[in-house]
Chain A
Amino acid sequence: MSVASGGPLKVLVLVKHVPDAQFDRHLAGADHSIDRSESILSELDEYAIESALQLIEARGGAKAGHTVTALTMGPERAAAAVKKALQMGATDGVHVCDPALAGSDAAATSLALATAINHLGGFDVVLAGMASTDGETSIVPAQLAERLGLPQLTMASALELGDDGVLTGRRDSDTTSTTLQATLPAVVSVTDQGEEPRYPNFKGIMGAKKKKTVTLALSDLGLDAAHVGVAGSWTHVEDAQARPPRTAGTVITDEGDAGVQLVDFLADKKLL
């Protein structure tokens, strides 16, 4: 039963485990994937969790039977992203984990996520962050909507769900603000312009352990390994090189003609 017909609101929130931006990032291994040894829940996904929690809290929260399911796809330690979501208040977790998924690009990632979402079934809203803080393509939510055949409200903030089951959000650009609407179910990606995500409290931290998390492998999803991972990816990283260290810039000392020198410098670089 969906929320529009009076059932509980079922929200799915996508959370990605990413390298901590505090540390230097580097690429490792034959497929040039990012070294993930110091990883955390993508900070932008915390906004998605906050939005998800607010959607259910506006209707009485988990106590009233509404749910927020946190879903991640990633290696074993990516379970930490689900755990953080559960500590913040998500009601249950799903971890799609299979060695064959390693090296997935956006298309393969969205395929695995869409298959998992269909497998679990029954969600009213699928919420994602505006971009992961590592891959940063922002394309996964759009691909997911396409694969699920659902409307997409991307780069939204200030979500509101009416009693009629219509979800409204706002998309801000530098000069305009657009109001977006969709009937549920829908896929939404939220920006960092909404309310600051909450910090988990100790009750949440202790309670997270008691919440249910299921781990799904490709075989559970009926997914063929050839369609995901490096094998199933549409794009391939052929080579990667560390950026050369920055060289010293040009210093212009003002001896009365710094303005002219500056313009000459920019013109020389074809920047004017």
Chain B
Amino acid sequence: MPNLELEDDYQDLSDTVRDFADTVVAPVSAKHDEEHSFPYEVVSQMAEMGLFGLPFPEEHGGMGGDYFALALALEQLGRVDQSVAITLEAGVSLGAMPIHRFGTDAQKEEWLPMLASGKALAGFGLTEPEAGSDAGGTKTTARLEDGNWVVNGNKEFITNSGTDITKLVTVTAVTGTSERADGSVKKEISTILVPTGTAGFTAEKAYNKVGWNASDTHPLTLRNVTVPEANLLGTRGRGYANFLSILDEGRIAIAALATGAAQGCVDESVRYAKERSAFGQNIGKFQAISFKIARMQARAHTARLAYYGAASKMLAGKPFKTEAAIAKMVAGEAAMDNARDATQVFGGYGFMNEFRVSRHYRDSKILEVGEGTTEVQLMLIARELGL
């Protein structure tokens, strides 16, 4: 039989991050959400705890843990504050992980210790105004000129791309074209490391988002951004394949974050249902409310099993693309559904911004969209079924 009890190290990490989330993160969440401010003080404490280095080897400044450890931390943070959780998720799985997976020794030595320490953040720029789910629509170009890449284009919705501690954005760009047998044009997509101080790189004004207000998201403009040829990340022309594999892993991380959000909605609802009374009894005594919360618990539990399952396949070195897609979809929907039910349990207070459940209501929508929409996950699952 499979053993779904967490081993001691994982359990202790999860408990530690839970304690941190409750004592350090939660008290400032509503403030940063309202002010749309980046929680630098929280991020620096997460850095001290080594959270940004969780899945990286010690020789590159990491904690020597694995991707599941990261997922557990994300679940605990996602329970109380999705903005903080996505800052860690994007920083590690989109910012630093591509360098760990595909970087040269020199690139790893230059960037990983800084990123794993959490003292600096990196973003990953894939989405463009006209290329989201269909990343093949990428229009940004990079051409080789005198030993340098010259990058031109625009990126959309890039997380962690404009904070005071952002040092790098990895962008996808078309580095050439070839003709297919049928005469159509095939784009060669590669990934290029762009340090944020490079001339011509601009993180534009931050978006006014529905949720994730304390997470940093900007459109990017790249105008004749010139970086050394050695800033190519991975093999030329493998950019597309590489980011697809990064996104597969990332879906486990997002699923964990979403599981936390779904659980956070349960925990808040249970507490409130025991405290709030109407018609002479606690609202939790009404079966309409207790069944609603029971169903929420079932969703959170299912989401957790789904991401544990995907992570265990990944750590065992087995294919996990479909499991990750399922986990991402199930957990994202669990978060959204639970947030809707939790705000219902809270009545009018659920419509007030400062309550955690209303924050989850605004924050959870993006979980059905970012790092692959629900429709994209369904495409992947259907493809695996041969459809």
Q: Is the CB of A199 within 8 A of B9?
A: no
Which chain B residues border A206 with CB–CB below 8 Å?
9, 64-65
Q: Is the CB of B48 within 8 A of A202?
A: no
A87 close to chain B: CB less than 8 A: yes
CB contact list, B1-23 vs A, under 8 A:
8-9, 12-13, 16, 19-20
B63 close to chain A: CB less than 8 A: yes
Roughly how many angstroms separate A200 CA and B69 CA in the complex, as a whole number?
A: 14
Q: Is the CB of B58 within 8 A of A205?
A: no
Tally of A interface residues using CB under 8 Å: 10
Roughly how many angstroms separate A205 CA and B64 CA in the complex, as a whole number?
A: 11
- B58: shortest Cβ distance to chain A, in Å? 7
Q: Is the CB of A199 within 8 A of B13?
A: no
Q: Is the CB of B20 within 8 A of A202?
A: no
Roughly how many angstroms separate A110 CA and B289 CA in the complex, as a whole number?
A: 53
- B100: shortest Cβ distance to chain A, in Å? 16
- A61: shortest Cβ distance to chain B, in Å? 16
B228 close to chain A: CB less than 8 A: no
B327 close to chain A: CB less than 8 A: no
Q: Is the CB of B16 within 8 A of A199?
A: yes
| B interface majority secondary structure | helix
Q: Is the CB of B19 within 8 A of A202?
A: no
* Per-residue B-contact encoding for A29-57, CB less than 8 Å = 1, 0 else: 00000000000000000000000000000
* Per-residue A-contact encoding for B22-44, CB less than 8 Å = 1, 0 else: 00000000000000000000000
B195 close to chain A: CB less than 8 A: no
Roughly how many angstroms separate A199 CA and B77 CA in the complex, as a whole number?
A: 15
* Per-residue A-contact encoding for B50-92, CB less than 8 Å = 1, 0 else: 1100100010000111000100000000000000000000000
B49 close to chain A: CB less than 8 A: yes
Which chain B residues border A26 with CB–CB below 8 Å?
none
Q: Is the CB of A199 within 8 A of B19?
A: yes
**29 pairs across A/B with beta carbons < 8 Å?**
A87-B12, A87-B16, A198-B49, A199-B16, A199-B20, A199-B48, A199-B49, A200-B12, A200-B16, A201-B48, A201-B49, A201-B50, A201-B51, A201-B63, A202-B9, A202-B13, A202-B50, A202-B63, A202-B65, A202-B69, A203-B50, A203-B63, A203-B64, A205-B12, A205-B13, A205-B16, A206-B65, A209-B8, A209-B9
B: which residues have CB within 8 A of A? 8-9, 12-13, 16, 19-20, 45, 48-51, 54, 58, 63-65, 69
